[in-house]
Amino acid sequence: MAKLDPSAQKKSDHTANYWLGGLTAVFFSLTIFFAFNSKPHVAAQPEIPLVDKKFLDTSPWRQTYADLVKAKEDLSDYDCYACHDKAKPPRIRYDTNQKIIIPKEHANIEMSHGTHERNNICYNCHNEQNLNTLQVRDGNVVKFDNIPQLCGSCHGPTLRDWEAGAHGRTSGYWDRQLGDINRLSCANCHNPHAPDIPTREAAPGPHYLHEASSHEPSKSHR
Amino acid sequence: MSRRSFLRGCAAFGGVTALAASLAPLRELGDYTNTEQFLQKYYKELTPSDMTKVITRIEGEVERQYGIRPHVRDLKPMDGVEFVYALNLTRCIGCRKCVHACVKENNQSRSPEIQYIRVLKMPHGSMDVEKGNHNYDSKQVPEKGFFYMPIQCQQCKNPPCVKVCPVNATWQEKDGITVIDYDWCIGCRYCEAACPYWARRFNFTKPQIPKDKINPDMSYLGNRPRKQGVMEKCHFCIQRTRVGKYPACLEACPVGARKFGNILDPNSEVSYILREKRVFIQLKEEMGTSPRFFYYFDK
């Protein structure tokens, strides 16, 4: 075994001290660094506005006579004989293009039923003899709160679907033993004088965490 | 004290402090998990009394975070019930009301936004989903020349997402709903990759839900608030459908395009539709997933 050289020993002591000093400094600076950065860094996210309340509304689009009766609302508007004469059913007038002329008292009515608005004879549905009721073409009188029977007299398959629950809006219980199904009637969605469902505004689409990547063809999220 | 021992002391102190500081972020972990949840058993092994404890813990967590005491339940599948969804492509107008009714019902994160339903706007004359666009921004819908196809979890009979889950955190229940245990999910996102319908969503960040927007009617496998780092998806509104109610998206649909029910009941709406209607597709039928979500036409 070689005898240790005292000067070499001293030299290695010095090196160790420098190392230790350096490490201490590194650790201290790390301590300070961690102390100030211990909170996890949260990347800034784009602000996404809450969706407008109108898109969360699930109430029916329209109210029917039956709804008004149920809500005990004012039904005086539905008394035709407040203005009309019972003995004289009102005459329907057409212009030269066979388009119906809507009298100014009924200006709120938009007539657009059937292809090319061909269902333009009021008495196809309204009862000529008693304007407060409706009438199926076979002569059966239908009350205002029983519209499906009237509509179904022409739209048979749709009535069949509706009765089976396959057409129209439902809510409540799918399990009839646990609760009732609430089934909306024809006029809750369709305006009888213009039954096409009108177009409406679409609710906002998806927002992404980051800008949409190139394979998503969009500029719409904003 | 020698210079050497002083320096040693300093180094040791510095090292310990640095170690402690470097572990400091673990303090935040309390937001994501706690001992009780960490030691929780697998859902299917939980006894009813275990479940009661778990539910109490969840209710407490929700109350701490959102200041509202929820009503959490663990609803089991009903006997003799298999759920099926049918969607009428003739009727759908693409208004996206179902999307937002779902977000509201199921306590999805509002920011970043998580939506279970995507509505594809598709050109007439094609069923090719590649041609669909779910980012449409129409002022008025429906647009001429397009039809709209909402896509959500199809609740497959042969679900690829369940097969790939390495920890069995997602499985198919008896009534056909594929569920996720948010406490068991490890967030590997294999299921998201396996799903051919892009039905699964991942919580990349902590979900943000305004306190007044929380739906307190919750279920364990359904709409209880999720954590960062777990998957979620449509579960046919388990908290509603397992007590006999319709899902939220169905009730929100303004044109009645969505139909839901028990396929094992011959008098249900869906049985009628599958029997009588022109049921067009199970989406991506060729994948062999056999969805319980059917698209049909009126005319």
pLDDT of residue B30: 59
The shortest C-alpha distance from A12 to chain B (Å) reads 13
* A114 or A47: which leads in pLDDT: A114
Quick check: A222 pLDDT over 80?
A: no
* DSSP state letter for B294: E
Closest CB from A179, A200, A205 relative to B135 = A205
Question: Which residue is listed with tokens 């139909």?
Answer: B259
Banded pLDDT at B2 (limits 50, 70, 90) = confident
Asked if the C-beta of A183 comes within 8 angstroms of chain B's C-beta atoms, the answer is no
Neighboring chain A residues of B78 at a CB cutoff of 8 Å: 175
Higher pLDDT pick, B66 / A12: B66
A215: confidence class by pLDDT, cuts 50, 70, 90: very low
Q: Is B110's CB within 8 Å of A48's CB?
A: yes
Instruction: Supply the range of the domain harboring residue B140.
Output: 83-297
Nearest Cα residue to B115 out of B124, B106, B126: B106
B50/chain A closest Cα distance in angstroms:
28
Task: Work out the pLDDT band at A216, boundaries 50, 70, 90.
Answer: very low
Contact call for A50 and B256, based on CB within 8 A: no
Check if the beta carbon of residue A158 is closer than 8 Å to that of residue A152: yes
Chain A residue with CA closest to B205: the answer is A42
User: Which is more confident, A217 or B212?
Assistant: B212
The pLDDT value recorded for residue A213 is 44
User: In this predicted complex, what is the ipTM?
Assistant: 0.83
Contact B256 A179 (CB under 8 A): no
Q: What is the mean pLDDT of residues B95-110?
A: 95
Q: Which residue of B has its CA nearest to A173?
A: B245
| A72 domain-assigned | yes
- Using the predicted structure, report yes or no on whether residue A99 has a pLDDT greater than 80: yes
Mean pLDDT throughout B54-72?
93
B233 in Cβ contact with B217 (< 8 Å): no
A7 is a domain residue: no
Indicate whether A147 belongs to any domain: yes
**How many domains is chain A partitioned into structurally?**
1
In a domain, B264, yes or no: yes
Number of domains making up chain B? 1
Q: Which residues span the domain enclosing A70?
A: 63-189
Is A203 contained in some domain?
no
Residue with tokens 């029916």: A60
Asked whether the beta carbons of B161 and B287 are under 8 A apart, the reply is no
Q: List Cβ neighbours of A1 (8 Å cut-off, separation of 6 or more).
A: none
Residue that has been written with the tokens 């499985």 in this structure: B171
Of A169-178, A201-210, B74-83, where does mean pLDDT reach its minimum? A201-210
For residue B225, say if its preceding peptide bond is cis, omega within 30 degrees of 0: no
CB contact under 8 A, B276 and A164: yes
pLDDT of residue A68: 85
Element (H, E) at B103: helix B97-105
B23 in a domain, yes or no? no
Encode burial over B2-21: b for 16+ CB neighbours within 10 A, e otherwise: eeeeebeebbeebbebbeeb
Per-residue pLDDT reduced to its tens digit, A140-184: 899 888 899 999 999 999 999 999 999 999 999 999 999 999 999
Contact B161, B194 (CB under 8 A): yes
Please report the sign of the dihedral spanned by the C-alpha atoms of residue B278, residue B284, residue B289, residue B292: negative
**Is residue A161, in this structure, part of any structural domain at all?**
yes
Residue A146: what pLDDT? 87
pLDDT category, B176, cuts 50, 70, 90? very high
B83-88 vs B258-262, strand pairing mode: antiparallel
Q: Provide the sign of the torsion angle of the four alpha carbons B212, B213, B219, B220, taken in this order.
A: negative
- Nearest chain B alpha carbon to A62: B254
Q: Round to whole Å and give the CA distance between B255 and A170.
A: 10
Q: What integer best gives the mean pLDDT of chain B?
A: 92
- B22 domain residue, yes or no: no
Query: Are the Cβ atoms of B100 and A51 closer than 8 angstroms?
Result: yes
Residue B32: which pLDDT band, with cuts at 50, 70 and 90? low
Residue B98 contacts by C-beta under 8 Å, 6 or more apart in sequence?
B117, B119, B150, B249, B250, B252, B253, B258
Contact across the interface for B245 and A172, Cβ inside 8 Å: yes
Question: Parallel, antiparallel, or unpaired for β B71-73 and A141-142?
Answer: unpaired
Residue B92 falls inside a structural domain = yes
pLDDT interval class at A38 (50, 70, 90): low
SS (H, E, C) B107-124: CCCCCCCCCCCEEEEEEC
User: Which one is predicted more confidently, B98 or B36?
Assistant: B98
Burial class (CB in 10 A: 0-12, 13-18, 19+), B161: buried
What lies within 8 Å, CB to CB, of B74 at 6+ separation is: B51, B55, B219, B220, B221
CATH number for the domain harbouring residue B190: 3.30.70.20
Whether the per-residue pLDDT at A220 is higher than 80: the answer is no
pLDDT higher than 90, residue B55 = yes
Q: Is the pLDDT of residue A217 over 60?
A: no
Q: Give percent of chain B with pLDDT exceeding 90.
A: 75
In DSSP notation, B228-261 reads TT-EE---S-HHHHTTTBPPHHHHH-TT--EEEE
Alpha-carbon distance of B51 to B41, in angstroms, equals 10
Backbone angles phi, psi at A63, to 5 degrees: -105, 140
Residues 60-119 on A with a CB inside 8 Å of B are 61
pLDDT band at B158 (very low <50, low <70, confident <90, very high): very high
Tell me whether B140 touches chain A (CB under 8 Å): yes
Per DSSP, chain A holds a count of helices (H) and strands (E) of 5, 4
Query: Under the phi-then-psi rule, with left for phi > 0, alpha for psi from -120 to 50, and beta for the rest, what region is A139?
Result: left
**Residue B125 included in any domain:** yes
Among the partner residues B133, B213, B252, nearest to A217 by beta-carbon distance: B133
CB pair distance less than 8 Å for B96 and A55: yes
